[in-house]
Amino acid sequence: MSRHTTPGPPPATATLADLERRAADRAAPRHHDDDALIVCDRLVRIFSAEGVEVQALQGLDLLVRRGELTAIVGASGSGKSTLLTILAGLDTPSAGSATVAGYDLLAMDARTRLRYRRETVGFIWQRTSHNLLPYLSAVQNVALPMKLRGRGGPVRGRDRTRRALELLDLLGIADRRDHRPDQLSGGEQQRVAIAVALANNPSVVFADEPTGELDSTTAADVFAALRHANAELGTTILVVTHDNSVAGQVSRTVSIRDGRTSTETLRSTAHDEQGKTSTVSREYTTIDRSGRLQLPTEFTRPLDIRDRVLLELRPDHIEVRPGQDADTPDSPRDDAADSTRDDAADGTRDDAPEDTTDDTPDKD
Ligand SMILES: Nc1ncnc2c1ncn2[C@@H]1O[C@H](COP(=O)(O)OP(=O)(O)OP(=O)(O)O)[C@@H](O)[C@H]1O
């Protein structure tokens, strides 16, 4: 991975119609790793306060592909906001690697960081008052990031107002174009905030609890607006949320525990023979690039699994059995299992399956 990598120059103009065309192009099937937009590898963030160190991220791995709408969930203090502020270029990791749209987040100088924040990412905060300038109208707020981007930006002069109006229209609030934030409801303010985040046609939009201050009906409206922007413009969106009903509306939810990604839920739509549609949801345990995975305590406790396990490779799955009897002498089965485990642990098995993610036991 090269350092100081910067993406190519933006196109001269970019109307919403252009964006939609590009979204369609992006949707064309490609080799899976060509589509990786966000790649975090063993990301670490340590905070030091008054001589005490807090390891907010403890070797987090994450891969998000172009065009995905992903929710990040996790208990309070698990590291969600720390991750998002690093990805948005507002904080720097202590170790590991993080790349977004070709930018190496550990190697950006101040000028590149500023450009990254203006051009490549959009951000939506939980507090509605953080997202908009109170003395500007909705349309002026949306046009402002295009103006700040200046001459090098893809949209100029009067086109900025036209594009701002198109974005407000896309998000269903064009009729509020001349209202200031204090004349808008919380949900309307957040929809304008989505338009602001999309103003410079970013590669990715990060949203930290964007519906946290809203009642459940308004939160559903705002989330529907995010989904609509993702579907229409193809913008990659990463949302941190506590709200399970919100997380349930996206096709992929990544769960963070103690500063690491732990599980991932994928949802898809199934059609039965009568033509009825339903959502199928499956929770997977994530495997890092070194092949490590975490066994959930609700699986290990009933089987009294501690310290070690026996792994056995089967044609289409891997068996995990309690390892407490592994010390028993003269047990040929244990020897075989130990050798399987050693080979699997150092990744030297010739016949090991290439991708075991889909074979991870389903907890549903
Ligand atoms: N600037 C900081 N200085 C010291 N510790 C910090 C700092 N920022 C975060 N932390 C600590 O890092 C850990 C992760 O915090 P973070 O805010 O990322 O969690 P979170 O999952 O977003 O929590 P919440 O859902 O409550 O917002 C916590 O233990 C927190 O106290």
Q: Provide the pLDDT for residue 13.
A: 56
Instruction: Pick the atom of ligand 1 nearest to 256's CA.
Output: 21
Q: Chain-wide mean pLDDT for the chain?
A: 80
Which of 130, 58, 63 lies closest to 90, judged by CA? Answer: 130
Mean local confidence (pLDDT), 76-104: 93
For residues 360 and 287, is the Cβ–Cβ distance under 8 A? yes
Tell me the pLDDT tens digit for each residue of 311-347. Answer: 999 999 999 999 876 455 444 444 444 444 444 444 4
Token pair, residue 164, equals: 């701002």
User: Is CATH 3.40.50.1980 the right assignment for the domain spanning 16-31+66-89+110-266?
Assistant: no
Q: Provide the pLDDT for residue 349.
A: 40
Q: Provide the pLDDT for residue 170.
A: 92
Q: Provide the pLDDT for residue 276.
A: 85
Is the CB of 261 inside a 6 Å radius of any atom of ligand 1? no
Instruction: Pick the atom of ligand 1 nearest to 74's CA.
Output: 21
The domain locations on the chain are 16-31+66-89+110-266, 300-364
Minimum CA distance residue for ligand 1 atom 20: 77
Is the CB of 80 inside a 6 Å radius of any atom of ligand 1? yes
Three-class DSSP category at 78: coil
How does DSSP assign 186-216, residue by residue?
A: HHHHHHHHHHHHHTT--SEEEEESTTTTS-H
Q: In the chain, what's the furthest Cα-to-Cα distance?
A: 83
Instruction: Pick the atom of ligand 1 nearest to 45's CA.
Output: 12
Neighbours of 123 (CB within 10 A): 23
Band (357; pLDDT cuts 50, 70, 90): very low
For residues 152 and 234, is the Cβ–Cβ distance under 8 A? no
Tell me the pLDDT tens digit for each residue of 223-272. Answer: 889 999 999 899 999 999 877 777 778 889 999 988 988 888 898 888 88
Pocket test for ligand 1, best of 40, 73, 78 (most atoms within 8 A of CB): 78
Provide φ and ψ at 287, rounded to 5°.
Answer: -115, 130
Is the CB of 248 inside a 6 Å radius of any atom of ligand 1? no
Minimum CA distance residue for ligand 1 atom 1: 47
